[in-house]
A = this chain, B = another copy of it.
Amino acid sequence: MKQSKVFIPTMKEVPAGAEALSHRLLLKAGLIKQSTSGIYSYLPLAARVLNNIEAIVREEMERIDAVEILMPALQQAELWEESGRWNAYGPELMRLKDRNGREFALGPTHEEVVTSIVRDELKSYKQLPMTLFQIQSKFRDEKRPRFGLLRGREFIMKDAYSFHADEASLDESYQDMYNAYGRIFKRVGINARPVVADSGAIGGSHTHEFMALSEIGEDTIVYSEQSDYAANIEKAEVVYQPNEKHSELQSLTKIETPNIHTAQELATFLEKPLDEITKSMVFKVDGEFIMVLVRGHHELNDIKLKAYFETDNIELATEDEVVNLLGAKPGSLGPVFDKDIKVYADNYIQDLNNIVVGANEDGYHLLNANIGRDFDVEAFGDFRFILEGEPLADGSGVARFAEGIEVGQVFKLGTKYSESMNATFLDNQGKAQPLLMGCYGIGVSRTLSAIVEQNNDENGIIWPKSVTPFDLHLITINPKKDDQRELADQLYAQLKESFDVLYDDRKERAGVKFNDADLIGLPIRVVVGKNASEGIVEVKRRDTGDSEDVHVDDLGNYVNELYTKL
């Protein structure tokens, strides 16, 4: 297309607050336009890339016999009440009422809808396994939308749902989808790593996330340099390797610790290392208060707590609740008390004796608290985040960290939705059984961002040819000169027979055009300039920057060969 007809509002200066590289580049190259917080329009170049990504997704879905459908964004509350998520989902679920006062959600995901379709229309084990997918806009009212398309409130997803008669079949489709996702990310030009992840509120038992490594990530990935091990830090297991306790038991002593609120402040005040301090936190688990201890240099991981207690209903107790319960504010809490509150401790607490804990009295701590003597621990467990350098659960070496963008997830749901929504099939004995399900998602608009995040240089985007909005950028340096314009017009007519060509016919200065071309980042640039009258044009690769003068008679072959090599 002629660039004068395409709407590509490139920018010199990116608005403040665009932190992520991809966000800055997408704005700067004129691909997206913010409508309001977390909501964007995709301008022509972005729409073309999205179409290319979606075509690749469709090919890979068809290859594993997944079948496309399209479900509605408007989802009646009744469906979400059946699954129990109408109340459980929280403020991220956007809700509205129709003209008759009936409640609806704007779909952030489609387990409920797809389960309701399948339970009505799928009867027999003969129809299984079956995998349905769709590509569609989703809605999630993020508390803090950020990073452009990476965490938006309206975004494009490919979501898929599989249905099975037995675990073996679910395992097979899960593996098919896992492999398809690997191929998709590779084809679109993303280096994405599957990592073990937490199953969270969606329920289910087994899940991997596909993480695209990036400068700014929303997630930290724990990985091994020696093996394929990779996990979301939320999920990465900490191996407990006991260390001997370091000293003789001493007697419990209360000391005044004025204005000390954090473990770090306490360590400084006592001139002890941070790892000899403990942190005591009170949680409400399904309505019951418990205390959890971790060492000063460790971070408690509430996702592991949820997994341990097998509930999503875990909250940190409020200050009021804590004061009411123990008589002191957070910062002065500890496990030495005469109350019916169970104490849980991270495994590494076992390495300590003569522990420093809060005295349950504001401004006071206890020295030399000891397990068994001064307080009891109900159970030890892995309740914290792993630290970089700690040993990995697969024994392959030590933990390395990287930042990543989650671009996809595969998930074994089991019977979570089929049981709550009564979706059954008749097995080969004619007996009704709950369907086993898997669900699978790719963030299509996130993938667009992740591609840009990983494919760029200081001058702009470098599109992988699989998804590039156009294949070639044909540029006239001075379209007012007849020889340049005529040659460029002729080359445009010729090249567009074999390629998607963006033809910069604008009456702008050459510098503006070249800057825009670098920013936009099409794989190959053909420049018609001062040698036009001799039939010579310049052909330049965006990735390496290599350029060569080529005679127009050879141009077709030259560009074909170069494009194939890319």
Contacts and interface: CB of A to CB of B under 8 A. Distances in A.
Q: Which of A1, A48, A141 has the most B CB atoms < 10 Å from its CB?
A: A141
Interface stretch (A90-98, A217-225, A523-531, A535-543): A90-98
A397 interface: no
Contacts of A507: 126
A70 B41 contact: yes
Given A99-B141, A153-B74, A6 B41 contact: no
B36 A76 contact: yes
Given A39-B72, A113-B41, A67 B4 contact: no
Interface of A: 1-2, 4-7, 9, 30, 33, 35-36, 39-44, 46-48, 50-51, 62, 65, 67-76, 91-92, 94-96, 98-99, 106, 113, 116-118, 120-122, 126-127, 130, 132, 134, 136-137, 139, 141, 143, 153-154, 506-507
Nearest to A30: B121
Count identical subunits in the complex: 2
A47 B68 contact: yes
Contact of A42 (B7, B70, B96): B70
A72 B154 contact: yes
A67 B50 CA distance: 14
A73 B36 CA distance: 12
Contacts of A506: 126
A117 B153 CA distance: 19
A121 B33 contact: yes
Nearest to A153: B74
A451 B169 CA distance: 38
A67 B154 contact: no
A33 B117 contact: yes
Nearest to A152: B72
A94 B121 CA distance: 30
A7 B122 contact: yes
B35 A76 contact: yes
Contact of A41 (B47, B48, B117, B143): B117
A500 to B, nearest CB: 10
B70 A47 contact: yes
The 9 closest A-B pairs by CB, nearest first: A96-B96, A9-B121, A42-B70, A91-B99, A47-B68, A44-B67, A41-B71, A36-B76, A5-B65
A454 to B, nearest CB: 23
Nearest to A445: B70
Nearest to A35: B72
B71 A130 contact: no
A331 to B, nearest CB: 30
B36 A121 contact: no
Contacts of A36: 76
Contact of A121 (B7, B50, B72, B117): B7
Given A33-B120, A96-B96, A143-B99, A40 B72 contact: yes
B96 A7 contact: no
Contacts of A7: 67, 69, 118, 121-122, 127, 130, 132
